[in-house]
């Protein structure tokens, strides 16, 4: 995917998420599978506010366990993984988990990583390893293509402490600066500012 297109898609996602948060809505399940890019490059975010962690928690004769979908763990913020571990992977209500705007920002970091590398963090690692590493704030090796500003956005979104993660309004500003800071022959001569290019309401289904 061309770099300018990657940035445009990421910026639209960040704008849409910022709009949801301004309305008091936490997505809970932001991931590439819930993001759709239409033929005109318009980005649509789906399934916001409906994900239920409780449905993943199962009881069995040998104990409680978490029914984890493939590649789902890499989107979960460390504080959520820790809460699941403390409850032995069994919770009865979503209120027991720290689902916040900051946990959405962490998930966006994973989406940004996927857009840049076309793969999941901790690719090929078993679920137990991802739980251990992510729950302790140990990040995927950040060998990503592009300038250091790409990595800086990722580092901020993946901050271990929720209070150190930026709001989506800040993420949009950081993304909007990228083409201007790192223009090359692959970028358009006059890049359009992603801050004004897409309306908030057009991002939501």
Active site residues: 29
Neighbours of 100 (CB within 10 A): 17
Contacts 24+ apart (CB under 8 A), 98-101: 98/162, 99/26, 99/28, 99/53, 100/26, 100/162, 101/21, 101/26, 101/167, 101/168
Residues 9 and 37: beta-carbon distance below 8 Å: yes
Measure the CA–CA gap between 78 and 66, rounded to whole angstroms: 16
Q: Is 132 exposed, middle or buried (0-12, 13-18, 19+ CB in 10 A)?
A: middle
Which one, of 144, 143, 132, 125, lies nearest residue 70 by Cα?
125
**For residue 136, which phi and psi values (nearest 5 degrees)?**
-105, 10
Most distant CA atoms of the chain, gap in Å: 63
For 153, the token pair is 């956005």
Measure the CA–CA gap between 194 and 7, rounded to whole angstroms: 9
């Amino acid at each position: 995917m061309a770099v300018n297109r990657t940035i445009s898609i990421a910026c639209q996602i960040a704008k849409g998420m910022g709009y949801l948060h301004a309305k008091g809505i936490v997505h809970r399940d932001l991931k590439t599978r819930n993001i759709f890019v239409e033929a005109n490059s318009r980005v649509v975010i789906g399934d916001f506010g409906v994900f239920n962690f409780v449905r993943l928690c199962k009881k069995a004769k040998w104990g409680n366990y978490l029914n984890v979908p493939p590649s789902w763990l890499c989107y979960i913020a460390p504080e959520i993984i820790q809460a699941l571990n403390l409850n032995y992977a069994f919770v009865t209500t979503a209120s027991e988990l720290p689902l916040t705007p900051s946990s959405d920002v962490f998930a966006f970091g994973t989406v940004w990583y996927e857009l840049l590398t076309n793969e999941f963090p901790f690719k090929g690692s078993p679920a137990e390893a991802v739980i251990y590493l992510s729950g302790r704030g140990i990040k995927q090796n950040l060998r990503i293509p592009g300038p250091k500003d790409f990595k800086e956005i990722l580092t901020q979104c993946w901050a271990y402490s929720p209070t150190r993660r930026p709001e989506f309004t800040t993420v949009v500003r950081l993304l909007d600066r990228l083409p201007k800071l790192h223009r090359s022959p692959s970028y358009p001569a006059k890049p359009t500012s992603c801050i004004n290019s897409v309306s908030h309401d057009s991002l939501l289904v």
